[in-house]
Amino acid sequence: MFEVIKTEGKARRGVFQCAHGVVQTPVFMNVGTQAAIKGAVSSHDLEAIGCQVELSNTYHLHLRPGNDVVRAMGGLHAFMDWKGPILTDSGGFQVFSLSGLRKIREEGVTFASHIDGRRIFMGPEESMQIQSDLGSDIAMAFDECVENPAAYDYAKASCERTLRWLERCKKEHDRLNALPDTVNPKQMLFGINQGATYPDLRVWHMKETAKIDCDGYAIGGLAVGEPTQVMYDIIDVVEPHMPKDKPRYLMGVGTPSNIIEAVARGVDFFDCVMPARNARHGKLYTWEGTINIKNEKYKTDASPIDPTCDCPACRSFSRAYLRHLFAAGEMLAMRLAVLHNLHFYNELMARIRKSLDEGTFDQFRAEYSGKLDRRL
Ligand SMILES: [Zn+2]
């Protein structure tokens, strides 16, 4: 399922096989929260900008249109016409961050829908059922993501419960995959490491999580308010306890520099809403750093966003035109900007992989890790 074909330090160049295709790692998954990429970007566009894995959101699709609807339409792949691999998150993060009035018990979480306030219950079994209906290639275990900073005792009780929830997820996931009418019987399950910013909890939880046979392991609960160096330190302490022969996924991270630094620490999978969100606000990535396309200085700039980029925006349009579209409030502004930023992230991963193939990742890291996050 997963093979590490080359390493440089702790960085890994790998190949991952799942039901809907082969994924070259390290990989950045493109986020289509509600089975669409915000900014009027479709699954067909994702194909054109080098996306390997699409990520959809269990919480959102459960609320709207409902996983029963997606299942009736043949699963997410058929519903959104995306033929490649799909990862669905567990819903846990949104249950804890978006919904109001939640109550956590051993069985699961009761929460109010952020759309209409309706009371909903979600536990490990419900999350597995929803993701099974969606038919994704990779399902994520249902976990609790605590805010940072979290009190030690709470973080400890929470990650102990997340471990018990993983055991229930695994059991239910195996049961659902074996049913005769399952949308994707080859669906995989990734477990998630938690433990807030406490190294001893993180290590204990990772060791216990690794004892449960999952198809991959994720580090969750980071990039939720802690300083960047704390995040790197946590990856450093957790990584030695993650199985070497399974993919590692750092959830919800991050800037280009964060990604390069995490690859250097042995991470294979990434996702983040940041590139698309930044694009919608006019913050665009280039190989020299980030620019704000709304800036006055681009008013008559005939050059593309990045002269080396071959995305649909850069191939045809100038900075001046894009700036005008933003000023005029045209939807095309967001679409072109999102296409560029996602293409940039996919290209970033392609260059990381190439540097690993050629044994030059260290030079790549030295040249770009600082540069790509700077504001021009
Ligand atoms: Zn571009």
| CA 329/CA 335 separation, integer angstroms | 12
Across 198-222, average pLDDT: 98
Q: Catalytic site residue 174?
A: no
> What's the 309 CA to ligand 1 centre distance in angstroms?
5
Q: Which of 45, 89, 143, 268 is flagged as catalytic?
A: 89
Q: Cα(307) to centroid of ligand 1, in Å?
A: 8
CA of 121 to the centre of ligand 1 (A): 42
pLDDT band at 343 (very low <50, low <70, confident <90, very high): very high
pLDDT for 23 beyond 80 = yes
Question: How many Cβ atoms are within 10 Å of 223's Cβ, its own excluded?
Answer: 18
The answer to whether 373 is a known catalytic residue is no
Q: pLDDT exceeding 90 applies to what percent of the chain?
A: 92
Distance CA(365)–CA(362), nearest Å, equals 5
Residue 100: pLDDT over 70 = no
User: In this model, does residue 101 exceed pLDDT 90?
Assistant: no
**φ, ψ for residue 270, nearest 5 deg:** -140, 160
What's the pLDDT band for 40 if we cut at 50, 70, 90?
very high
Considering the candidates 137, 268, 271, 306, report the single residue annotated as catalytic: 271
Distance in Å from the first CA to the final CA of the chain: 42
What is the 219 CA–ligand 1 centroid distance (Å)?
A: 30
Query: In whole numbers, what is the pLDDT of the chain averaged over residues?
Result: 96
CB 39 within 8 A of CB 98: no
- Distance between Cα 150 and ligand 1 center (Å): 40
pLDDT of residue 33: 87
Q: Where are the beta strands (DSSP E) in the chain?
A: 2-8, 11-18, 21-25, 27-31, 54-56, 86-88, 100-104, 109-112, 119-122, 138-140, 188-193, 216-219, 248-250, 269-271, 283-286, 289-292
pLDDT of residue 225: 87
Are 67 and 99 contacting, i.e. CB atoms less than 8 angstroms apart?
Answer: no
Residues in Cβ contact with 2 at an 8 Å cutoff, skipping those fewer than 6 apart: 14, 15, 16, 17, 215, 216, 245, 246, 247
pLDDT tens, position by position, 266-324: 999 999 999 999 999 999 999 999 999 999 999 999 999 999 999 999 999 999 999 99
Q: What is the pLDDT of residues 239-261, one digit of tens each?
A: 999 999 999 999 999 999 999 99
Q: How far is the CA of 313 from the centre of ligand 1 (A)?
A: 5
Assign 192 to helix, strand or coil. strand
- Ion ligand 1 neighbours, Cβ < 5 Å: 305, 309, 311, 313-314, 340
Instruction: Give the pLDDT of residue 97.
Output: 80
Kindly indicate the confidence band of residue 94, based on its pLDDT and cuts at 50, 70 and 90.
confident
Please tell me whether residue 80 adopts helix, strand or coil conformation: helix
327-348 average pLDDT score: 98
